[in-house]
Structure 1
Amino acid sequence: MVKSLQSTTTLNNGVEMPWFGLGVFQVEDGEEVINSVKWALEHGYKSIDTAAVYKNEEGVGQAIKESGIPREELFITSKLWNKDQGYEETLQAFETTLQKLGLDYLDLYLIHWPVPKQNKYKETWKAMEKLYQDGKIRAIGVSNFKEHHLEDLLTEAKIVPMVNQVEFHPHLQQKSLHEFCKKHNIQLEAWSPLKQGQILSDETITKIAKHHGKSTAQVILRWDLQKEVVTIPKSVKQHRIHENADVFDFELSEEEMKLIADLNKEERIGPDPDDFDKR
């Protein structure tokens, strides 16, 4: 059982990654992101997930610096944007990300999307492997990769990705992908675990939440953890950041886990990774 905000999963290279963190997608750079990250860190969060395309890496870096928490106690993730794919481009984009964050290294760096039309992710991965071998990143991985993207990547990869961050929630459970990742010891991580609020009024989840004296959001986040999926809910409200993390004092029964699993529709709110090629 995941017992606290500090609980970690061991990645396939031995690095410890927190099961729970704060995502900052669509959080405005400056005061909004600085406050969100500081509130999270003050409350005991150790993991912060950003990306080049979020355009808030500088604010995240400032919040980390101002928090006074030793760097080695934190787990910081960022992601490479689509236009920066390619070997040399990746090396350059990584340096820009480090500079904006004001950090000497990253804990996790992800290829944000496979962008199959570009057909550059294998070349990009070679650069990620170099950065990892040079000690500039503690773990490397991908985001939004389907099984066939991973299978293709693994034909040439020297290092198996440590993480695959994908859209994951009760309406999109990607069971086959989850099994594939388990088989290859790739940690699945959920973005948009609450489906951007669209499942918070679901009757089944509401009933389970009432039984436990919890919110529907807390039940969904607890379900993620019991599915062994790392989760990074986003919020810019202090009370919600605290509330999201209050999921370590109860456990869902097997029956409750199954009831939520039965809600699966394989329904996305984000783009299909096979088609998405925004630069």
Structure 2
Amino acid sequence: METVTLANGTKMPLVGTGTNTYGKVENQYKGDLNNDFRALESAIKAGYRLIDTAIYYRNEAGVGQTIKDSGIAREEFYLTTKIPEIEEYIGSKEIVEQALLKSLENLQTDYIDLYLIHQPIEDKKTLKRTWQVLESFVDAGKIKSIGVSNFSIRLLEEMKVYTKIQPAVNQIESNPSNWNNELIDYLKNQLIIPEAWGPLSRVTEEQRAKLTTIGDKYGKNWGQVLLRYQIQRKVVVIPKSHNIQRQLSNLELFDFNLSTGDIQIIETL
């Protein structure tokens, strides 16, 4: 697995798996938890080591148990989770601390590789307080890297006033319906790694057809072309599937390079 180096020198896999429907009835995001993590088990067997979860997903504990049950050493995994932006989790310094400690307990680990703020916190004092607690957990060795999710350029600029540790990652939407190029360019300039959620989402039939045509040149499918485009421009991707064949397919991205011409076509989708 190829990696990208964060500003703090740690390495992050370029491809991982989301988990927001794992362990839930009918594989639905809002479904009741049923502790069925076969999809995560198969993803781990396929070779995924970047595992992305969140408090909002309600399945941290199941993700943690599945990783433990895999028998694979903890240090081989790159675990990401996220704290919600709501009062219940960020209402005070102590509440934030308890949320982070609960994540560590749920994931059955002494440290988390990457901890993100899941959605923008518009109140400046609350955002500053939350970020400073995250920084204290980095200082204590309980979190390796910290970052944000769905943050705008404006919010990231405002954070510069008080951050001792700048965000290492901004997890954002990026797909043919919203490449988010302006934000990605800004992030790269600031040495913040862009990470795409939903990288295979919101693709029209017309876009899929064009991607398929490109893929035929390389013996790849449209999804592999789309993911390759992102990682070729150093955007981390976290596709998610409950199908073992698609899980395997989404990892087969490192044996071809898109040409400049094909990249230009993809950029105009």
TM norm structure 1: 0.87
Q: Does 1:23 align with 2:26?
A: no
Aligned with residue 204 of structure 1, among 192, 210, 213? 210
Shift of 1:69: 0.5
Q: Does 1:11 align with 2:11?
A: no
Question: 2-side partners of 1:228 and 1:113: how far apart?
Answer: 23
Residue of structure 1 in register with 2:110 after alignment: 104
Question: 1-side partners of 2:202 and 2:138: how far apart?
Answer: 33
Look up the equivalent residue of 1:163 and give its one-letter code: V
Aligned with residue 224 of structure 1, among 230, 237, 242? 230
Question: 1-side partners of 2:35 and 2:111: how far apart?
Answer: 24
Shift of 1:170: 2.2
Look up the equivalent residue of 1:26 and give its one-letter code: T
Aligned residues: 257
Question: 1-side partners of 2:58 and 2:200: how far apart?
Answer: 23
Question: 2-side partners of 1:71 and 1:179: how far apart?
Answer: 33
1:1-279 aligned at under 5 Å gives the runs: 6-27=1-22, 28=24, 29-32=33-36, 34-83=37-86, 84-85=89-90, 86-116=92-122, 120-195=126-201, 198=204, 202-263=208-269
Question: 2-side partners of 1:201 and 1:59: how far apart?
Answer: 36
Contact 1:200 1:216 in 2 (8 A): no
Look up the equivalent residue of 1:16 and give its one-letter code: K
Where does structure 1 lack aligned partners over 5 or more consecutive residues?
Answer: 1-5, 264-279
Residue of structure 1 in register with 2:29 after alignment: none
Residue of structure 1 in register with 2:27 after alignment: none
Look up the equivalent residue of 1:238 and give its one-letter code: I
Shift of 1:238: 1.4
Q: 1:154 to 1:66 in 2, by over 3 A?
A: same
Contact 2:176 2:203 in 1 (8 A): no
Shift of 1:225: 0.5
Q: 1:204 to 1:62 in 2, by over 3 A?
A: same
Look up the equivalent residue of 1:17 and give its one-letter code: M
Contact 1:194 1:200 in 2 (8 A): no
Which 10-residue stretch deviates more, 36-45 or 186-195? 36-45
Contact 1:201 1:216 in 2 (8 A): no
Question: 2-side partners of 1:36 and 1:48: how far apart?
Answer: 12
Q: 1:225 to 1:67 in 2, by over 3 A?
A: same
Question: 1-side partners of 2:97 and 2:2: how far apart?
Answer: 32
Question: 2-side partners of 1:26 and 1:163: how far apart?
Answer: 23
- Give the superposed CA RMSD: 1.7
Question: 1-side partners of 2:211 and 2:35: how far apart?
Answer: 34
Question: 1-side partners of 2:48 and 2:80: how far apart?
Answer: 13
Question: 2-side partners of 1:196 and 1:135: how far apart?
Answer: 38
Question: 2-side partners of 1:229 and 1:81: how far apart?
Answer: 23
Q: 1:245 to 1:30 in 2, by over 3 A?
A: farther
Shift of 1:211: 2.2
Which 10-residue stretch deviates more, 115-124 or 127-136? 115-124
Look up the equivalent residue of 1:44 and give its one-letter code: G
What percent of counterpart residues are identical? Answer: 40
TM norm structure 2: 0.90
Where does structure 2 lack aligned partners over 5 or more consecutive residues?
Answer: 25-32
Q: Taking CA–CA contacts closer than 8 Å with sequence separation of 6 or more, which of the two structures ends up with the larger relative contact order?
A: 1
Q: 1:101 to 1:198 in 2, by over 3 A?
A: farther
Shift of 1:110: 0.2
Q: Residues 175-233 of structure 1, C-alpha deviation per residue, up to 9 Å, x if partnerless?
A: 22112111111111000001256568633212112222211111111111011100000
Question: 1-side partners of 2:21 and 2:125: how far apart?
Answer: 27
Shift of 1:88: 2.3
